[in-house]
């Protein structure tokens, strides 16, 4: 990690991006950049975790707390099918009022109505919350959800897998080991998984590398056991405008919060170099904008992410635009000099 931290800190900007792009072309040869047509569905905003960077959640007894019905969710999936989408990414809060049966019945019914859609649902912290309510292990919860028709587990909730950073901004969420444990269990069930990273909490560059190291070590473990592990990695800076973490640190000079475009691109590049066992790196256009994501395609990223119909969590923190049409993504890729290729949740070309 010392060498990676030194490269992160000392490499000239364009040299770092060029190294990352060379690694990208070694791992994913050719001129193709992939994208996914999907929809984000936030089925509930009721949550007890109280992450200080989250502006989306509401306490379960709050008048603005909601939980969508199966018909409301199904209607949104139908709209996705109409535009040729293939996946929903369904996440919400840790809602103590929902029993395990609510989740299994929801997935089973949605699977019966929409058999061709991939269902990547419920981040590790949600799985832990469901397990607590059901008095079951997280492995047992993942098993019954898969049996109900769930196909993948989103990478949300990782933020920083460095506990003295993680527990400062999300003290109730628990240790980084728990996120790793749930992901390991999901991968052993052959659920599609991705890894994420939210940075800009005032952490050091070495701590950012420590996060990447946790991801890489779990990927090594999965590969050594003959499993595919994470399909991809995506990072983005914390959005500070509307959340309590940004407000409580406003005006502080001793640490630098958030991350600008240059810092983001350096982090994307170092991620591609360090995560040499994860096949795909996404450029994060919802937080950085299509223009910066476009540059990211020449800085190590081989995927521009997804259309993200109806994203609510990131937008609640201040980002003004969190959905794009398939045509916009294709044009963004083409104008960067690459060939756009539509994919599914497992990175198979469509």
Instruction: Please state the rounded mean pLDDT for residues 4-15.
Output: 96
Instruction: Round to whole Å and give the CA distance between 298 and 335.
Output: 12
Structural tokens at position 299: 């800085």
pLDDT tops 60 at residue 312: no
pLDDT digits (tens, 9 = 90+) for 105-135: 999 999 999 999 999 999 999 999 999 999 9
Q: Please tell me the predicted confidence (pLDDT) of residue 52.
A: 59
Instruction: Please state the rounded mean pLDDT for residues 177-199.
Output: 97
pLDDT digits (tens, 9 = 90+) for 316-333: 444 444 678 899 999 999
φ and ψ at 100, to 5 degrees? -55, -40
76 occurs within a structural domain: no
- Is the Cβ–Cβ distance between 269 and 17 less than 8 Å? yes
| DSSP-assigned beta bridge partners for residue 199 | 237
115 occurs within a structural domain: no
Residue among 181, 182, 183, 214 nearest 197 (CA): 214
The CA-to-CA distance between both ends of the chain, in Å, stands at 38
213 occurs within a structural domain: yes
99 occurs within a structural domain: no
Which stretch of 49-53, 219-223, 271-275 has the lowest confidence by average pLDDT?
A: 49-53
Q: Report the share of the chain in percent with pLDDT over 70.
A: 87
- Grade residue 54 by pLDDT with cuts at 50, 70 and 90: low
CATH number, domain containing residue 264: 3.20.20.70
Range of the domain at 237: 2-38+123-343
pLDDT digits (tens, 9 = 90+) for 146-165: 999 999 999 988 999 999 99
239 occurs within a structural domain: yes
Q: Please tell me the predicted confidence (pLDDT) of residue 64.
A: 74
Say which residue, 319 or 40, is predicted with more confidence: 40
What's the number of domains the chain is made of? 1
Say which residue, 277 or 60, is predicted with more confidence: 277
273 occurs within a structural domain: yes
260 occurs within a structural domain: yes
Structural tokens at position 12: 């000239």
Q: Please tell me the predicted confidence (pLDDT) of residue 56.
A: 62
Average pLDDT over the chain, rounded to whole?
Answer: 89
pLDDT digits (tens, 9 = 90+) for 226-268: 999 999 999 999 876 544 444 444 444 444 567 889 999 999 9
pTM for the structure as a whole: 0.89
pLDDT digits (tens, 9 = 90+) for 137-147: 999 999 999 99
66 occurs within a structural domain: no
φ and ψ at 215, to 5 degrees? -65, -45
- Is the Cβ–Cβ distance between 175 and 167 less than 8 Å? yes
């Amino acid at each position: 990690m010392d060498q990676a931290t030194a490269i992160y800190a000392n490499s000239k900007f364009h040299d770092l991006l060029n190294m990352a792009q060379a690694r990208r072309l070694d791992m994913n040869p050719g001129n193709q950049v992939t994208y996914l047509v999907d929809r984000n569905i936030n089925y509930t905003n009721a949550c007890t975790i109280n992450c200080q960077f989250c502006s989306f959640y509401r306490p379960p007894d709050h008048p603005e707390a909601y939980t969508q019905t199966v018909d409301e969710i199904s209607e949104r999936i139908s709209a996705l099918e109409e535009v040729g989408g293939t996946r929903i990414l369904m996440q919400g809060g840790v809602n103590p009022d929902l029993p395990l049966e609510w989740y299994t019945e929801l997935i089973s019914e949605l699977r019966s109505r929409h058999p061709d859609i991939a269902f990547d649902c419920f981040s590790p912290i949600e799985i832990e919350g469901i397990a607590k309510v059901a008095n079951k292990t997280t492995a047992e919860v993942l098993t019954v959800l898969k049996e109900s028709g769930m196909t993948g587990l989103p990478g949300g909730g990782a933020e920083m897998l460095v506990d003295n950073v993680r527990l400062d901004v999300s003290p109730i969420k628990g240790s980084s080991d728990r996120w790793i444990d749930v992901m390991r269990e999901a991968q052993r069930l052959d659920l599609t998984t991705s890894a994420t990273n939210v940075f800009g909490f005032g952490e050091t560059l070495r701590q950012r590398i420590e996060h990447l190291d946790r991801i890489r070590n779990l990927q090594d473990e999965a590969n050594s056991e003959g499993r595919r592990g994470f399909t991809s990695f995506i990072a983005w800076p914390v959005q500070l405008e509307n959340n309590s973490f940004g407000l409580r640190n406003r005006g502080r000079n001793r640490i630098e919060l958030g991350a600008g475009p240059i810092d983001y691109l350096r982090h994307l590049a170092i991620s591609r170099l360090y995560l040499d066992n994860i096949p795909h790196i996404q450029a994060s256009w919802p937080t950085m904008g299509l223009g910066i994501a476009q540059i990211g395609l020449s800085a190590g990223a081989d995927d521009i992410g997804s259309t993200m119909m109806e994203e609510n969590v990131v937008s609640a923190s201040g980002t003004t635009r969190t959905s794009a049409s398939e045509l916009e993504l294709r044009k963004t890729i083409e104008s960067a000099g690459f060939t756009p290729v539509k994919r599914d949740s497992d990175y198979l070309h469509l």
